[in-house]
Amino acid sequence: MAQQAEQKLLEPFFRDLKQQSEVNTLGMWVFLVTETMLFGGIFLAYAVYFLNYPTAFTAASHELNLVLAGINTAILLTSSFTVAMAIRSIQVGNKRLLLVFLIVTLILGATFLGLKAFEYFEEWEHNLIPGINFMFPEPALASKAQLFMGLYFAATGLHAIHMIVGSGVLTLLIYRAWQGVYHEENYDVVENFGLYWHFVDIAWIFIFPLFYLIDRASQGG
């Protein structure tokens, strides 16, 4: 019975299921390296301008909502935990727990996006949107602070798009899991989705200190 199931899953050009799984996983890792280059470019641009305009960048960073971002960081780390638990569940054959953990992951991801949207709205209210309504308390630093905000929206916007795409795919996975498609021999898709989700978490692990935690010791009040 298990052997028949294996025959159905195995593509003819693979030696066995193990090799097929490894190749699927490798494919996702290769993609993640390209994603690293994508985010890496933005981080490098940010690093260069941070080195050149430290005062303006520090001042601009203090305008960001650290509490919201801190909560979002905790949410994303927990969602990486729940997706890892989802994969573990199907590895031991627990289809119900797989579904539960995937749903919790989606809820956490959606919460992250909701808080992010609110944070963007707040930034709009505080006149921090470059080119649209940007005004800055210290006029001498304004143009450089606007550059900071541009980089901030580029990095977090790109990250949010990745979260949205990930959440969309996750919804599809939840539907498939609910249909009972996944089992101990067939969970490559869930595993590789997990890799993508962890990568997006890693991107945020860099975004959070780089943009929100510049020398908060010097922040007045």
Partner 1 sequence: MATHDQTHDHDEHDDHHGVTSVLTYVLVLAALMVLVVITVAVSFTPIPAPWATVIALVIAFTKVAIVMYFFMHLNHTDSSLVWLFAGIGFFWIVIMMLITLGDYFARTSIPGTI
* Nearest-angstrom CA–CA distance, 172 and 158: 22
Q: Does 180 bind partner 1 (CB under 8 A)?
A: no
- Give the nearer residue to partner 1 in terms of CB position, either 39 or 136: 39
* Nearest-angstrom CA–CA distance, 68 and 72: 6
Site string for partner 1, 44-83 (x = CB under 8 A): x--xx--xx-x-----------x---x--xx--xx-xx-x
The least distance separating partner 1 from the CB of residue 150, rounded to whole angstroms, comes to 17
Of 116-145, which residues contact partner 1 (CB under 8 A)? none
Region near partner 1 per CB under 8 A, out of 38-46, 103-111, 133-141, 165-173: 38-46
Q: Give kind and range of the element (H or E) at residue 164.
A: helix 142-179
Number of other CB atoms surrounding residue 78 within 10 Å: 16
- Max Cα distance, the chain (Å): 73
Q: Tell the residue number behind the tokens 């494919």, with chain if given.
A: 27
Q: Does 201 bind partner 1 (CB under 8 A)?
A: yes
Q: Residue 183 forms beta bridges with which residues?
A: 186
φ/ψ (deg, to 5) at 183: -150, -175
CB-based contacts of 77: which residues, under 8 Å, 6+ apart?
Answer: 201
| Pair 106, 174: CB distance under 8 Å | yes
Assign 14 to helix, strand or coil.
coil
- Give the nearer residue to partner 1 in terms of CB position, either 145 or 214: 214
- Give the nearer residue to partner 1 in terms of CB position, either 43 or 153: 43
The least distance separating partner 1 from the CB of residue 125, rounded to whole angstroms, comes to 25
Q: Does 206 bind partner 1 (CB under 8 A)?
A: yes
Interface with partner 1 (CB under 8 A): 1-3, 6, 17-18, 21-22, 25-26, 29-30, 32-33, 36-37, 40, 43-44, 47-48, 51-52, 54, 66, 70, 73-74, 77-78, 80-81, 83-85, 87-88, 91-92, 184-185, 191, 194-195, 198, 201-202, 205-206, 208-210, 213-218
